[in-house]
Chains A and B, each alone.
Chain A
Amino acid sequence: MERGPVTAAIGSPQAAAEPGATPGTRVEAALEIDAVSFAFPGAAPILEEVTLRVDAGEIVALIGPSGCGKSTLLNLLAGALRPSAGEVRCFGRCVNGLNRRVVYMTQRDTLLPWRSALDNAALPLEIKKVPRAERYARARSVLELVGLAEAERRRPHQLSGGMRSRLSLARALLSDAEVFLLDEPFAAIDALLRIRLQQLLVDLWARTQVAIVYVTHDLNEAIALGHRVVVMSKGPGRVALERAIEAPHPRTVARFREEPEAQRAYSALWDALETQLPR
């Protein structure tokens, strides 16, 4: 299989990520969403009876119409919201309060504008009180991994949209989280650069083997990135369809849509998605 340029630069992915590794064989659940419903007080339900499992090291792409509760689901997984009914578990433990085993990346980055790229990347280590020399050394190596070594002294406003996304990814990697919750992280970025960032994400996943829940509006992106794609129904959000993408990871994102499996998945998922879109 062809590899993206970043994969080539950072070396071989771990054995488990080599072609042939199937997510279905994993036993440990990173996240379990058990009959979860959610509504804000006095408002209509946003999510109803959602049941979903994300295995450790698996990438699950969530797709659905606007307002179907995808971001709410991520907030529940992060522990920023509490379910009205049901239970969310992370590695077997009930999520009660903020879930510190996850890192949450949104479309709008959460970088600190007064910090340099290096200091922003090193923030999770600073919070964990890692000694200064060690945290900078680790932050520099991750910045190099995401191609920002030259920009370590720049502040976020001096970086382009793509560079900011890469910096957010670098910070997420240094947080040592076991689950990444990504809410349309590359939505505001132009199409060509978005493909490069998707490839970077796949390559980084291959190294780290974290579980990823990836919310997107782009079906091709969902298919190219996910081991599984979950289609959510329009509000109140439910799981309308789950489809495994039967192709090995890490994939070459730019070329993956040409694969027969990608085309079959697109057709099946589009049929399910189309019924959920407003007429």
Chain B
Amino acid sequence: MSLATQTIGVGRTARGLRRLNQVDLAALAARLGTLGVVAALWQVFAGGPRSVLPADVVGRPSSILASLWHLVVDGQFFSSLGLTALSVCYALVLAVPIGVGLGLLTTIRPIGWLLQPLVNLTYAIPKVGLVTLYVLLLGTHPDTHVALVLSQILFVFYYATRQAILELDPGVVTALRLMGASRLKLVCSLALRAALPHLLAAIRLCVPLAFATEIFAELRAPTSSGLGVLLQNLITAGDGAAAMAIMLCTALIGYLLDLVIGRRLRAYTTSIGVGLPT
């Protein structure tokens, strides 16, 4: 490629980025505007003379912000968030190797023949029903929460890994085997790398799911702290605005994590040419 062509290319890219930024900014402004309108309508129609929404249950945006401020200032919010996030992290750290390992194992024919129906059967069990079983087994303990979250998200990694391996190009597998690649080398150099976009997508899917399951577990088997416990305490105290603040913050955290992981996923898939025109 000549220097002139490259310069023209760079110029076009820069103009494209500027246009993209304008589009992004317009989209952001539109989204914030919509949120502002929803918040204003909520403020008007929750409580007061034109009440449509029960203010004692859903709160009003102004009281939600005030409650959140109090929770942040007295440290309750972040300490609870920290404990909930810690349980979610433990569950994720366990779910990835177990799910990936199971996914790899079940592609070995005799093991798959034996294990796959069992895994599929376990997947079909409604996980929320397991909370009582885990309380009986592990007691009312953060481990119970981790176990429940693990049961919920493990299968996402299992199926993601399995799918990635099923999608492997047999030509590539044969090429590597002809080069002398061992089974271990095939797993490390091919299967796991090919599974990476699927696993990143699985993490993206699992993080909000794990938070929701953890909060559910904390509500059903409350320990000393955690976002679910805090939520339960606030509901019991009849503080609807503060409870709503916790729920909205949880949603916001989920949204931000999805944004960050989604960007990483896109960056990775773009770097290996997935989804690009060939």
Tell yes or no: A114 within 8 A of B by CB.
yes
- For B243-278 the 0/1 string (1 means CB < 8 A from A) is 000000000000000000000000000011110101
B273 touches A123 (CB 8 A): no
How far, in Å, is B172 (CB) from chain A's closest CB?
A: 4
Assess the B180–A100 pair: CB atoms within 8 A: yes
Of A30-38, A155-163, A191-199, the one with at least 4 CB within 8 A of chain B: A155-163
* Residues A127 and B178 in contact, CB atoms below 8 Å apart: no
How far apart are A111's CB and chain B's nearest CB, in angstroms? Answer: 8
Q: Is A99 part of the binding interface, using a Cβ–Cβ cutoff of 8 Å? A: yes
Chain B residues near A104 (CB, 8 Å)?
174-175, 178
| Contact present for A98 and B177 (CB under 8 Å) | yes
Contact of B70 with A by CB under 8 A = no
Residues of A within 8 A of B74 (CB): none
Asked whether A103 is an interface residue with its Cβ less than 8 Å from the other chain, the reply is yes
Whether the pair B278, A108 counts as a contact (CB closer than 8 A) is no
**In the complex, are the beta carbons of A99 and B178 less than 8 A apart?**
yes
Per-position 1/0 for A199-213, Cβ under 8 A of B: 000000000000000
Q: Are A110 and B169 in contact (CB under 8 A)?
A: yes
- For chain A, which range describes its interface: under 10, 10 to 19, 20 to 34, or 35 or more residues? 20 to 34
- A127-B174 CB under 8 A given contacts A100-B180, A156-B273, A157-B272: no
Q: Knowing A106-B171, A157-B272, A157-B273 are in contact, say whether A112-B178 is a contact too (CB < 8 A).
A: no
B270 to chain A, nearest CB (A): 9
A126 nearest CB neighbor, chain B only: B189
Residues in B neighbouring A19, C-beta threshold 8 A: none
Interface size on B, residues (CB 8 A): 22
**Bound: A157/B274 CA distance, A:** 9
Residue in A closest to B197 when the chains form the complex, CB atoms:
A114
On chain B, the residues within 8 Å of A177 by CB distance are: 178
Question: Is B115 on the interface with A (CB-CB < 8 A)?
Answer: no
Is A67 at the interface (CB under 8 A from chain B)? no
Main secondary structure of the interface of B (DSSP, over half): helix
Interface contact A110-B171, CB-CB below 8 Å: yes
- Residue B176 lies at the interface, judged by CB distance under 8 Å to chain A: yes
Let me know if B108 is at the binding interface, CB within 8 A. no
Q: Are A112 and B179 CB-contacts (below 8 A) given A155-B271, A157-B272?
A: no
CB contact between B179 and one of A113, A157, A175 (< 8 Å): that residue: A175
Q: With A113-B274, A155-B271 known to touch, is A127 a contact of B179 (CB < 8 Å)?
A: yes
Mask, B188-203, CB within 8 Å of A = 1, is 0110010010000000
Evaluate contact between B185 and A127: CB separation under 8 angstroms: yes
A100 CA to B181 CA, complexed, in Å? 10
Given A100, A114, A126, A128, which contacts B178 in the complex, CB threshold below 8 Å?
Answer: A100
In the assembled complex, A9 has its CB within 8 A of some CB on chain B: no
From known contacts A110-B171, A112-B172, infer whether A124 and B179 are also in contact, taking CB-CB under 8 Å. Answer: yes
- Determine whether the beta carbon of A127 is less than 8 Å from that of B180: yes
Q: Which residues of B contact A112 (CB under 8 A)?
A: 172, 189-190, 193
A89 to chain B, nearest CB (A): 17
Instruction: Knowing A127-B180, A157-B278 are in contact, say whether A80-B190 is a contact too (CB < 8 A).
Output: no
Residues of chain B lying within 8 A (CB to CB) of residue A127:
176, 179-181, 185
Q: How far is the CA of A126 from the CA of B188 in the complex (A)?
A: 12
- Closest approach, in angstroms, between the C-beta of A79 and any C-beta of chain B? 8
Residues in B lying within 8 Å of A, measured CB to CB: 169, 171-172, 174-181, 185, 189-190, 193, 196, 271-274, 276, 278
Offer 6 A-B interface pairs, CB within 8 angstroms, sorted by A: A78-B174, A104-B175, A127-B179, A127-B185, A157-B278, A175-B178
Residue ranges of A at the interface with B (Cβ–Cβ < 8 Å): 78, 80, 98-100, 102-104, 106, 108, 110, 112-114, 123-124, 126-128, 155-158, 175, 177
